[in-house]
Amino acid sequence: MKLIIAGISTEIGKTVVSAIIVEALQADYWKPVQSGALEDSDTETVRNLISNPRSHFHPEAYRLREPLSPHAAAEIDGVTIDMKKLIVPQTDNHLVVELAGGLLVPLNNRDLNIDWVQRSGLPVVLVSRNYLGSINHTLLSIEACRTREIPVLGIVFNGPEVVASESVILGISGLYCLGRVAQERVLTKAIIGQYAEKLLPQLNSMRA
């Protein structure tokens, strides 16, 4: 199984969900573009949160210094993100790919994240978080994928549960809730492992 972790906005919890799915599947991990936090990157965060010995961490195609939209961070660094260089790593293992930002975040002055997702041919797991406006952001993200015929495997809700919001999102979209991650004060390998164990049956059902 190879899949992309996308979020409805920034700071949604994509990296935590990535770590959970990586641990559940003992999958490889790849972040195509890292913007900012080069000493404490998302790759290193996931590496430090998993326990299994099988996962391999593929190097980013672009490592940009500033914590900005990829197109802006790349411009500051004097580079242009080239979609042709965002090549999905070859592996015999499962693979989890984490996007930098939301689906319509620009990679350069022409291409968006979703353009690359469409080109990759990989399905999406969408990470949502409940806040004012999240229903709109979640349904817009789903609609954008469906317009481009990008499969959405389901939604993972991160943070405090809001039944009124989640039920309407699932009802209108027809998607499944693959899992829910609570607002954890501290994240440890043990906690990630617990979530991974809960999520694994859902992932296995998608593979069947």
* Residues forming the active site: 31
Q: How far apart are CA 117 and CA 120, in angstroms?
A: 5
Closest CA to 45 of 25, 66, 13, 15: 15
Cα 120 to Cα 4, 15, 18: the distances in Å are 9, 20, 18
- 112 φ, ψ to 5°? -105, 165
Q: How far apart are CA 90 and CA 82, in angstroms?
A: 19
Closest CA to 173 of 207, 203, 134: 134
Closest CA to 181 of 40, 7, 2, 3: 7
Residue 11 CB contacts under 8 Å (≥ 6 apart), including other chains: none
